[in-house]
Amino acid sequence: MCAAKRRDRERGRVGHRAQTTIDFAIGIGVFLLVVAFVVAFVPTIFTPFQSAEGPGAADRIATSLSTDRLGDPATPYVLNDTCTNAFFDQLHGGADAPTSCGFDTTADTTDEMFTPGATRDVNVSIRTLDGTVVTDGVQYTAGPPVTETTSVTAATRVVYVNGEPHRLLVRTW
């Protein structure tokens, strides 16, 4: 026996093998499963944040309306009566709203006002806490009727109109 083999046998290294074929196959299989999971699911994690038309649109519109567009940013969630009436009146074909209001006073539809150039439909309404649409000289609802054939995303905010709590409901699809 050669000296190197004798030394290895004395040190207990003989009989230990490197990675077997089955170990290699299991390792590659687990690696491929992890890669497939990452490729399949990670892109969908970021999808809602990639587009102004995604599920976050209803939430952004509701926050914008309740904190600055229909009122004073210094008093969020308290809606200005004049601007709120003008907002819904304008979207029902009435006169343009005063330019002092924080929304696009020239838009004729909710789509033009909130998602210009997009294919997203937007429905906005202000309801009492029991769900009835508020009417204060003009019906507080605007936009196309809500569809029943596609997925609808909704966002709700509690706002004060004329000192009373109401629900601002924004639905997009």
Sole residue written with tokens 């009492």 = 128
Q: Where are the alpha helices (DSSP H) in the chain?
A: 3-11, 21-46, 56-64, 81-91, 110-114
Q: Are strands 122-127 and 141-142 parallel, antiparallel or unpaired?
A: antiparallel
Q: What is the pLDDT of residue 119?
A: 66
Q: What is the pLDDT of residue 114?
A: 78
Q: What is the pTM of this model?
A: 0.66
- CA 114 to CA 143: how far, in whole Å? 11
Identify whether the C-beta of residue 146 lies closer than 8 Å to the C-beta of residue 121: no
Q: What is the pLDDT of residue 26?
A: 93
Q: What is the pLDDT of residue 16?
A: 60
Distances (CA, A) of 145 to 72, 133, 149: 29, 14, 12
Q: What are residue 28's phi and psi, to 5 degrees?
A: -65, -40
Which residue, among 166, 106, 105, 116, has the nearest Cα to 141 in the 3D structure? 166
pLDDT tens string 104-121:
877 788 878 876 666 678
pLDDT tens string 70-98:
988 899 999 988 888 888 888 877 777 77
Chain centroid offset of residue 5 CA:
68
